[in-house]
Chain A
Amino acid sequence: MTAYFLQRLIQSIAVLLAVSVVVFFAVYGIGDPIELLVPPQASAAERLALIKRLGLDQPVWHQYFTFLGNALSGNLGTSFVHGVPVVSLILGRLPATLELVLLSMITAAVVSVPLGLYAGLNPDSRPARFIMAGTVIGFSLPSFWKGMMLVLLFSVWLGWLPTAGRGETVAFLGLQTSLFTWDGLEHLILPTLNLAIPNTVLMVRLIAAGASEATTQDYVKFARAKGIPRRRIVNRHILRNILIPVVTVVGIEFGSLVAFSTITETVFSWPGMGKLLIDSIYQLDRPVVVAYVMLTTLLFVGVNLIVDVLYAALDPRVKLSGGMT
């Protein structure tokens, strides 16, 4: 167990290092931020001073090692645009994104488990065909289009829900959240729905495929031959076995939602991390982009570790052990 975590730690550090190199140099290649940062009326001297202050006069490898050295002491840099440390800038946006992502993952799980099980266990029934056809549509529609259609339908035509923003927030455990005000909840519904739809349909398909495969397995037939009630066969024998692929996908999707719910946050002007990333890329705010990708990588490494631990909890055949595989 200890060997396993040690090995994972070393792997994670290697991944982070590799990502830092790639991202740093890629962002460097995108363009020179100085044109966007210097006001048009600034003098040449002011311009030079700014370049020097931001460290942009140094050769790129020198900039990289400065960044790496600072990063090791926990300082990922200061935003060119906002002038505040990037870590606090990004983490400041985290609660908004997290509440959106958590709510949409919960929605996806709550909706997809019963639908997927139903479709998988009664594959030839009419509702099952309807569900499966729905998943194809849900999966094929691009996120930005779905988002705009939701706004058009519920905000513009029906006038039920607000179009954009976070609405009224209150502090909860020191974090601003929309979860506890009526106005905030109203603002949450559409973006949550938009984020939840692709994950719901993905999970429906996974669960349906897993359930219909599991019903043909000998252990299900044996459970029936033992006289186990159908309810228990589904909830205990089948569901338990199909949770493993579902947990994998939920893990991966959770990570990518937190990091890259950019489109949804843009469509709904949701002041989360994704919106920050896209704005920073437009403004060539290098430290924010680099730090963002680094934090995202860290998030994925962490999520993967959690998923592996969950595997071991769900499947007794999985043992967490060190050594190369």
Chain B
Amino acid sequence: MTGLLDVRGLRTVFHAPEGAWAAVDGVDLTIGRGEVLCLVGESGSGKSVTGFSIVRLIDPPGEIVEGEILFDGADLRRASQEDLRALRGNRIAMVFQDPLSTLNPVLTIGEQMAEAITAHRSCSKAQITEESVRALARVGIPSPEVRLRQYPHEFSGGMRQRVAIAIALLNSPDLIIADEPTTALDVTIQSQILYEVQKLARETGTAILWITHDLAIVAELADRVAVMYAGQIVESGPADDVLDRPRHPYTLGLLKSSTGTVQPGERLHQIDGNAPRIDARPSGCPFRTRCDRVVAVCAEVYPARQQAGEQIFRCHNPVTSASVTSGEDLP
């Protein structure tokens, strides 16, 4: 598998009067062509900042201070603003979390689609309309010709997210970064969108970085998964391996607290405590304050990268046996 995107040692900080806090702290990620990578973690773990860092949409006080973002061999950290602009929406497209706020309320859907095309290539009016109609039809929007002339407020949340996905597809990108695109939608629409995205990835060979906190989505969608905690990737690997045999106690905790693993009536597992604030991260392993497998060394040394098969994790006392509740599949 050739690496389409290779992120190495990415560090993104946010400057505050008291100092710079790292929202993303040494992240490594690899996505191959046509691959779906799910980036999982709690709120505030740095998932979204990672996604925006890749296309360098980080505004002050945020700043990318270290690392390489190799996209198709070129380091995006060294790219000019114009190169980045030409890349965004063309080779790397994004879908945002809240479909209600991503579309401009005062411009028609047609205009917002057309500008995404004309920003990257010159195109006749007829061709723009044709491509827009096709993209809308592809994500399951009925009567696309009529819809092009409408404004965002005439669409439901689910429909707007489909429009956003259709916009992302317009220029047949190599990579789509989807930042929790189904979080704001209800479950039935969520699964429709997941199904369509999966189909599209397969049909067009588009790689997808899907940022989520929902393990059910990971099980359904991901080829590979990376688990993020306090700005770092604590575990990554093929989705089946990570979900079936998690090695990091945090991954295990997340799996246990997922609804699919408990019998009805049973209490849902909960990881003790809260994710550490960005300005108060513990020494050594950041998860040690909430970990039930903590040992003395955790407070002192940041765990080194370990590998077991294709699975990579950072833990001093990794989970060894399959401790997830007996053999029950995730949803």
A interface residue numbers (CB < 8 A to B): 217-219, 221-230, 232, 236-237, 240-241, 314-317
Given A227-B89, A227-B90; A222-B153 close (CB under 8 Å): no
Q: How many A-B residue pairs have CB under 8 A?
A: 75
With A227-B89, A316-B151 as given contacts, are A222 and B96 in contact (CB-CB < 8 Å)?
A: yes
Residue of B nearest to A228 (CB): B119
**B88 contacts across to A, CB distance below 8 A:** 224-227
**Is B29 at the interface (CB under 8 A from chain A)?**
no
A221 touches B96 (CB 8 A): yes
CB distance from A158 to the nearest CB of B (A): 44
Q: Which residues of B contact A221 (CB under 8 A)?
A: 57, 96
Please name 11 further chain A to chain B contacts, defined as beta carbons within 8 Å, in addition to the given A224-B57, A314-B106, A316-B105, sorted by A numbering.
A219-B101, A219-B102, A222-B96, A225-B89, A225-B93, A225-B96, A227-B85, A227-B87, A227-B88, A230-B85, A316-B153
> How many angstroms from the CA of A226 to the CA of B116 in the assembled complex?
6
Q: Tell me the B170-221 residues at the A interface (CB within 8 Å).
A: none
> Cβ of B55 < 8 Å from any Cβ of A?
yes
Contact A229 B93 (CB under 8 A): no
Most B CB contacts (10 A, CB to CB) among A222, A226, A232, A237 go to A226
**Residue among A219, A221, A241 facing the most chain B CB atoms (10 A cut-off):** A219
Q: How far is the CB of B201 from chain A (nearest CB, A)?
A: 19
B22 close to chain A: CB less than 8 A: no
Q: Is the CB of B98 within 8 A of A226?
A: no
Residue of A nearest to B90 (CB): A227
Bits for B109-128, please: 1 = Cβ < 8 Å to A, else 0. 00000011001100000000
Chain A residues with Cβ below 8 Å from B94 are: 222, 225
Q: Is the CB of B96 within 8 A of A218?
A: yes
Q: Does B164 contact A (CB under 8 A)?
A: yes
> Is B254's CB within 8 Å of the partner chain A?
no
* B103 interface residue per 8 A CB criterion: yes
**Listed A/B pairs (26) with beta-carbon separation below 8 Å:** A217-B101, A218-B96, A219-B102, A221-B57, A222-B96, A222-B102, A225-B55, A225-B93, A226-B93, A226-B115, A226-B116, A226-B119, A227-B85, A227-B88, A228-B89, A228-B116, A232-B119, A236-B115, A237-B107, A240-B104, A240-B106, A241-B105, A314-B106, A315-B105, A315-B106, A316-B108
Q: Give, as a whole number of angstroms, the nearest-CB distance from A245 to chain B.
A: 13
Question: Per-residue CB proximity of B10-25 to A under 8 Å, as 1/0?
Answer: 0000000000000000
- Contact partner of B106 (CB less than 8 A), chosen from A224, A226, A228, A316, is A316
A317 touches B98 (CB 8 A): no
Flag if B55 contacts A219 (CB, 8 Å).
Answer: no
**Whole-angstrom distance between the alpha carbons of A314 and B105 in the complex?**
10
How far is B106's CA from A240's CA once the two chains are assembled, in angstroms? 7
Residue of A nearest to B106 (CB): A240
Chain B residue nearest in CB terms to A215:
B59
Q: Check B86 for interface membership: any CB of A closer than 8 A.
A: yes
Chain B residue with Cβ nearest A124 = B60
Q: Are A222 and B119 in contact (CB under 8 A)?
A: no
Top 6 closest pairs, chain A to chain B, by CB: A227-B89, A226-B89, A316-B151, A218-B101, A227-B88, A225-B94
Contact indicator A229/B98 (Cβ below 8 Å): no
Evaluate contact between A226 and B167: CB separation under 8 angstroms: yes
Listed residue (A222, A314, A317) with the most chain B CB atoms within 10 angstroms of its CB? A222
Kindly report which residue of chain A lies nearest to residue B113, judged by CB atoms.
A226
Chain A residues whose CB sits within 8 angstroms of the CB of B153 once the complex forms: 316-317
Q: Which of B221-280 contact A (CB under 8 A)?
A: none
A314 to B153, CA, bound (A): 14
Closest residue to B164 on the A side, CB-wise? A222
Residue of A whose beta carbon sits closest to that of B151: A316
**Chain A residues within 8 Å of B104, by CB:** 219, 223, 237, 240-241
Contact assessment for A219 and B103 in the assembled complex, using a CB-CB cutoff below 8 Å? yes
Pairwise interchain contact B86-A227, C-beta atoms closer than 8 A = yes
Let me know if A236 and B107 touch, CB within 8 A: yes
Chain B residues with CB under 8 Å of A315's CB are 105-106
CB A197 to nearest CB in B, in angstroms, measures 30
State in angstroms the CA–CA spacing of A282 and B271 once bound together.
Answer: 80
A223 proximity list for chain B (CB < 8 A): 104, 115
Contacts of B89 in A (CB 8 A): 225-228
List chain A residues, Cβ under 8 A from B87.
Answer: 227
CA distance A317 to B153 in the complex (A): 7
Q: How far is the CB of A310 from chain B (nearest CB, A)?
A: 13
List the B residue with the shortest CB-CB distance to A244.
B106
Chain B contacts of A317 at CB under 8 A? 105, 151, 153
Which residue of the partner chain, among B55, B90, B108, B119, contacts A229 with CB atoms under 8 Å? Answer: B119
Contacts of A229 in B (CB 8 A): 85, 119
* Of listed A221, A227, A240, A315, residue having the most chain B CB within 10 A: A227
User: How far, in angstroms, from A240 to B200 measured CA to CA in the complex?
Assistant: 34
The residues of A that contact B85 with a CB separation of less than 8 Å are 227-230
Q: A240, B107: Cβ atoms under 8 Å?
A: yes
The chain A residue sitting closest to B154, CB to CB, is: A316
Cα of A228 to Cα of B88 in the assembled complex, Å: 8
With both beta carbons as reference points, the residue of chain A lying nearest to B108 in the complex is identified as A316
- Asked if B116 and A227 make an inter-chain contact with CB atoms under 8 angstroms apart, the answer reads yes
A317 to B108, CA, bound (A): 11
Specify the chain A residue showing the minimal Cβ separation from B179: A225
Q: Closest CB of chain B to A114's CB: distance in Å?
A: 21
> A232 contacts B151, CB within 8 Å?
no
Which residue, B85, B103, B106, has most C-beta atoms of chain A within 10 A? B106
Residue of A nearest to B86 (CB): A227
CA of A317 to CA of B103, assembled, Å: 13
Contact residues in A for B106 (Cβ distance below 8 Å): 240-241, 314-316
List the A side residues contacting B119 at CB < 8 Å.
226-229, 232
Residues of chain B within 8 A of A219, CB atoms compared: 101-105
